[in-house]
Amino acid sequence: MKYKMIDGSVTAAKGFKAAGIHCGIRKNKSKRDLGLIYCDNKCTAAAVYTTNLVQSSPITVCKQNLKNGFAQAVIANSGNANTCNADGDEKAQKMCELAAKELGIDASDVIVASTGVIGQILPIEPIEENIAVLAENLTCDSVGASDCAEAIMTTDTVKKEVAVETTIGGKAVKIGGISKGSGMIHPNMATMLCFVTTDAAISSEMIQKAVKTVADDTFNMISIDGDTSTNDMLSVMASGLAGNDEITEEGQDYNDFVEALTAVCKELSKMMAKDGEGATKLLVCKVSGAKSVKDAKGIAKSVICSSLLKAAMFGADANWGRVLCAIGYSGCDVDVHKVNVSFASDDGKIDVCKNGAGIEFSEEIAKEILIRDEIDIIVGLGDGEASAEAYGCDLTYDYVKINGDYRT
Amino acid sequence: MKYKMIDGSVTAAKGFKAAGIHCGIRKNKSKRDLGLIYCDNKCTAAAVYTTNLVQSSPITVCKQNLKNGFAQAVIANSGNANTCNADGDEKAQKMCELAAKELGIDASDVIVASTGVIGQILPIEPIEENIAVLAENLTCDSVGASDCAEAIMTTDTVKKEVAVETTIGGKAVKIGGISKGSGMIHPNMATMLCFVTTDAAISSEMIQKAVKTVADDTFNMISIDGDTSTNDMLSVMASGLAGNDEITEEGQDYNDFVEALTAVCKELSKMMAKDGEGATKLLVCKVSGAKSVKDAKGIAKSVICSSLLKAAMFGADANWGRVLCAIGYSGCDVDVHKVNVSFASDDGKIDVCKNGAGIEFSEEIAKEILIRDEIDIIVGLGDGEASAEAYGCDLTYDYVKINGDYRT
């Protein structure tokens, strides 16, 4: 492991500035609702998007803009998803034009995103009237980045910002990102909004490859509630200002980049899972001994998605039968008579199932382990060499409360 | 529609008796935990089972016993699933033997089932000591049937009993059934315990065919929480005492039987969905205009499974964006720009989405409709002739409460 975690965010890498303001899309004036990220020079850029057939208008526009592999800015709002609206595409395009005009760049170099309620017309006036102030607020320090991270939050309770530093081709390279959850989150580029910036020099083709690879192992391994959103997007912009030789093919430099990008995305994934709607705990399902990575991932996801297990974890109940059950219906190739299950947290580890059958264990010790706020569900399949991790959260009263009356 | 609903249960058909007692598998002495169904003569019989790779021991034994297409009794307990136990198969076999000995039949003619907690050793003594009393209590009236329906309940809040009468080949035929939910319920023979009896004369081969057909359109269209249980089973026993010419092939008589069996199973399905863990409402998603039945079913299931929609329905919130979103990630062939959505209950009907976009509607009227306890979510795809219905329930605080501490 070559990289190290550093303080910082989406402005850690050279060339990037960010800002976030309240423009008026949300009624609550104390909550920022419009964010901007800008790079001094044009970046190579790539993104992965939701697989939902119902896709937001900003995603339609963004796909078009990123076709050439370049971008220079991100504009994103919360409070309105701009999805399932007759004039949605037009409004998303208008957001790009407003940002581009203010920044003196091409509208086709803008990444655009929206998050919030589906099916309500996006008011464009608040953006029109405040884009100049937003651009004025751009800073390359942590303030602008933090404001921007807040501007994309919906039901999130904490801002999600991460940065790492690594060395590529002898040069110091930084990668930083912000993201938002926290409901409607499920495997299959199912995730959220996440904007990552780096000063690495990397070609459009290789950055696209890296984004796809990393998303599959990080964001696509989260599930909050099994719902795949219409607006999800992970985008990465690379300014090239770190001065490394441009990464144009697979090899050591590419691997170093992927390792560091994975670290950023995995950390953001965990932060998102832990801040899932109503969640009180981060759940990490660690599967090993699978016949294939596909089986390992499928089983890890199946466990993390089980409403019954999620509710049991909320109650700190060591109900390992829920784990076995979820493994059994995962559709993966597994011999249930070889399955071992343990629970762990920073309070210790306890074995609860060996070879597919229950074993005696202390309920008291299990409770001590499970009342912590980060729980590992450790599954050994004893049937191969492949492993995977999936990230989720518990199912709580507050999840129901938040979603019982989300719009009003 | 040839059949009519009648008062009655699993003892409505000629030849069947039932009983239910508290034997001591459960600690709570006021809750029956052991049920028995018996027929005076040997029946043709068939069943469908869970698709979970982790299967309960009673299912293993039952599959073996039903291979020849005949059965004469059902023994079932609640309070313990007899799943993931080293001695599980032995105990399930012992349950058959105890029932068979008491009833004077072959152990291989007994259908056996268990429901409850996974991974705890099933105590056989309470069954051994009480099987004689259980058999003594067998009655052909509604008392024994009702006691048996209670004996298989776990977190169910109401007993589920249904009966219909129809005419097959000029003879009056009755079909009656009992079932239990109410968590861990999801499509794909994913369901529950359900025991159906009939006095129709029908061959083992045709009864197996009918069970499979009917399960796909009824129980396999329910979802409570997306979890597919390890113990689910639907079995049907036919005594032949109605005196109709035995059904041995497809045709009018077979169709009449399937129609009536569907009525029983659909009614039980709705009762189970409405009594889903913590549920306050029955949700029925009615999809029409699909390109294929597979697409119609897939979309109806996807909508009914969405945690976000389920929570919105709990809050009587007309958040139709959740419906569109679930349609979009269903994996089915659909043109989202043609989708219409309405909500309905016995208080009226309200259109909320036309051609994939929101339309103006009165939130007050929508609220009035959605506060009722049976809600239809009506989806028109405008793209074909196929239709389907799926059954589910809302997601509530009580679901979390029930499953946060299920074992203790």
- ipTM of predicted assembly, 2 dp: 0.70
Q: Is the pLDDT of residue B26 over 70?
A: yes
d(CA B61, CA B114): 11
CA separation, residue B309 to residues A60, A162, B280, B325 (Å): 25, 32, 14, 9
Task: Please judge whether A53 and B226 are an interchain contact, meaning their C-beta atoms are less than 8 angstroms apart.
Answer: no
Q: How many CB atoms lie within 10 A of CB A368?
A: 15
Q: Across residues A273-292, what is the average pLDDT? A: 90
What pLDDT sits at residue A228? 63
Residue of A16, A268, A46 lying closest to A142 (CA atoms): A16
Instruction: Scan residues 362-401 of B and list those with Cβ closer than 8 Å to A.
Output: 363, 395-397, 399-401
Cα distance between residue B329 and residue A191, in whole Å = 13
Residue of chain B with shortest Cα separation from A319: B407
Inter-chain touch B226–A226, beta carbons under 8 Å: yes
Position B186 pLDDT exceeds 50:
no
Residue B146 has pLDDT above 90, yes or no: yes
Calculate the CA dihedral of residues A208, A214, A218, A222 and round it to 10 degrees.
Answer: 30
* Amino acid at the residue A43: C
- Indicate the average pLDDT of chain A: 90
Q: Who wins on pLDDT, B156 or B173?
A: B173
CA distance A347 to A67: 49
Would you please indicate which residues of B are annotated as catalytic (active-site) residues?
191
Q: CB–CB of A312 and B406 under 8 A?
A: yes
- Best mutation site among B91, B230, B319, B339 for testing chain A: the one with the most A CBs within 10 Å? B319
Segment A186-190 mean pLDDT: 36
The answer to whether the Cβ–Cβ distance between B84 and A119 falls below 8 Å is: no
Q: Is B280 on the interface with A (CB under 8 A)?
A: no
Local confidence band at B407 (pLDDT 50, 70, 90 cut-offs): low
**pLDDT beyond 70 at B227:** no
Contacts of A226 in chain B (CB under 8 A): 226, 305-307
Whether A404 shows a pLDDT value over 90: the answer reads no
Look-up of token digits 């599930």: A223
Identify all chain B residues contacting A325, using CB atoms and an 8 Å cutoff.
52, 54, 118, 184, 227-230
Give start-end residues of each CATH 3.60.70.12 domain in chain B.
Answer: 4-274
The average pLDDT across B215-243 equals: 80
B-contacting residues in A 245-264 (Cβ below 8 Å): none
B192 inside 8 A of chain A by CB: no
- Across the interface, whether the CB atoms of B358 and A119 are under 8 A apart is answered yes
What value does the mean pLDDT of chain B take?
90
Q: How confident is the model at residue A358 (pLDDT cuts 50, 70, 90)?
A: confident
Q: How far apart are CA A380 and CA A382, in angstroms?
A: 6
Q: Going along B27-151, which residue ranges are E strands? A: 34-49, 70-78, 110-115
Cβ separation B183–A407 shorter than 8 A = no
pLDDT of residue B228: 62
A83/chain B closest Cα distance in angstroms = 8
Task: Give how far A220 is from chain B: nearest CA, Å.
Answer: 14
Q: How far is CA A175 from CA A5, A69, A274, A279, A332, in A?
A: 10, 18, 22, 28, 35
pLDDT digits (tens, 9 = 90+) for A327-346: 988 889 999 899 999 999 99
- Residue B224's pLDDT is 66
- Residue A94 pLDDT > 90, yes or no? yes
3-state secondary structure (DSSP) of residue B282: strand
- Per-residue pLDDT band for B101 (boundaries 50, 70, 90) equals very high
Which one of A50, A154, A191, A262 is the catalytic residue?
A: A191
Task: Nearest chain A residue to B230 by CA: give it.
Answer: A325
CA-nearest of B266, B110, B108, B120 to B179 is: B266
- Token readout for A307 is 């409403």
pLDDT digits (tens, 9 = 90+) for B80-90: 989 888 899 99
B211 touches chain A (CB under 8 A): no
Q: How many CB contacts within 8 angstroms connect chain A with chain B?
A: 202
Across the interface, which of A120, A225, A324 has its CB nearest the CB of B118? A324
All residues of chain A having their beta carbon less than 8 Å from the beta carbon of residue B291 are none
* A53/B327 Cβ within 8 A: yes
B119 in reach of chain A (CB within 8 A): yes
CB–CB contact B230 A308 (8 Å)? no
Cβ–Cβ below 8 Å for A403 and B311: yes
Share of chain A above pLDDT 90, in %: 67
* In the predicted structure, residue A91 carries a pLDDT above the cut 70: yes
**Mean pLDDT in residue range B274-298:** 91
Task: Tell me which residue in A230, A405, A406 faces B328 most closely, judged by beta carbons.
Answer: A230
Q: Residue B190: pLDDT above 50? A: no
Mutate to test the interface with A, among B51, B52, B53, B114 (most CBs of A within 10 A): B53
Q: Out of B311, B319, B353, name the one closest to residue A400 (CB).
A: B311
The predicted pLDDT at position B154 comes to: 83
Q: Report the C-alpha gap between B191 and B244 in whole angstroms.
A: 31
pLDDT surpassing 60 at residue A407: no
Per-residue pLDDT tens for B383-396?
A: 999 999 999 899 88
Comma-separated ranges of CATH 3.10.20.340 domains in chain B: 282-404
Q: What was the pLDDT predicted at A54? A: 80
When pLDDT is cut at 50, 70 and 90, the band that residue A188 belongs to is very low
User: Which of B336 and A405 is assigned the larger pLDDT?
Assistant: B336
Domain covering B282-404, topology: Ubiquitin-like (UB roll) (3.10.20)
Give the closest-approach CA distance of A52 to chain B in angstroms: 5
Between B267-271, B292-296, B375-379, the lowest mean confidence (pLDDT) is in B267-271
Highest mean pLDDT among A163-167, A261-265, B97-101: B97-101
- Whether B176 shows a pLDDT value over 90: the answer reads yes
From B230's Cα to the closest Cα of chain A, the distance in A is: 6
Amino acid B188: pLDDT: 36
How many Å apart are CA A254 and CA B378, to the nearest integer? 50
- Report the alpha-carbon angle B26-B31-B32, nearest 5: 85
Distances (CA, A) of B222 to B115, B294, B313: 18, 15, 16
Question: Residue A369 has what pLDDT?
Answer: 96
pTM of the model: 0.76
pLDDT above 70: percentage of residues in chain A: 95
Choose between A325 and A149: higher pLDDT. A149
The beta-carbon neighbor of A400 closest among B55, B325, B396 is B396
| Chain B: closest CA distance from residue A97 (Å) | 24
**CA of A117 vs chain B CAs: smallest distance (Å):** 8
Rg for chain B (alpha carbons), in Å?
21
**Domain A4-274: which CATH number of 3.40.50.920, 3.40.630.30, 3.60.70.12, 3.30.930.10:** 3.60.70.12
* B348-366 per-position pLDDT tens digit: 999 999 999 889 999 999 9
Which pLDDT score is estimated for B226?
A: 60
pLDDT(B230) > 80: no
Q: Is A315 on the interface with B (CB under 8 A)?
A: yes
Q: Is the pLDDT of residue A107 over 80?
A: yes
pLDDT, residue A279, reads 86
| Cβ pair A118:B325 closer than 8 A | yes
Question: Per the CB < 8 Å rule, is A404 touching B325?
Answer: no
Chain B nearest C-alpha distance from A221 (Å): 17
DSSP, residue by residue, B283-338: EEEEEEEESSHHHHHHHHHHHHH-HHHHHHHHTT---THHHHHHHHTS-S---GGG
